[in-house]
Amino acid sequence: MRESEFPAVTARWVADTLEIERPSAHRRLEELHENREVERGKLSPRVVIWWIPDDKE
């Protein structure tokens, strides 16, 4: 996420950047969210974005 030019990313971006499958990226993002390492929000019912909270940067 720190490599992104945008303040938030999608699981697809993470998957493409790390060259892994999207479900794997989504699972890892969910784990990070549970550990309060990242935040998430919905842009629409199908689009979820993820970002690193200010206190974690």
Q: Tell me how far apart the alpha carbons of residues 45 and 3 are, in angstroms, rounded to a whole number.
A: 26
Q: Sign of the C-alpha dihedral, residues 57, 53, 45, 21?
A: positive
Q: Tell me how far apart the alpha carbons of residues 19 and 21 are, in angstroms, rounded to a whole number.
A: 7
Closest CA to 36 of 50, 16, 49: 50
Each residue of 29-43: pLDDT tens digit? 999 999 999 999 999
Q: What is the pTM of this model?
A: 0.85
Amino acid at 19: E
Query: Residue 56's pLDDT band (boundaries 50, 70, 90)?
Result: low
Each residue of 10-30: pLDDT tens digit? 999 999 999 999 999 999 999
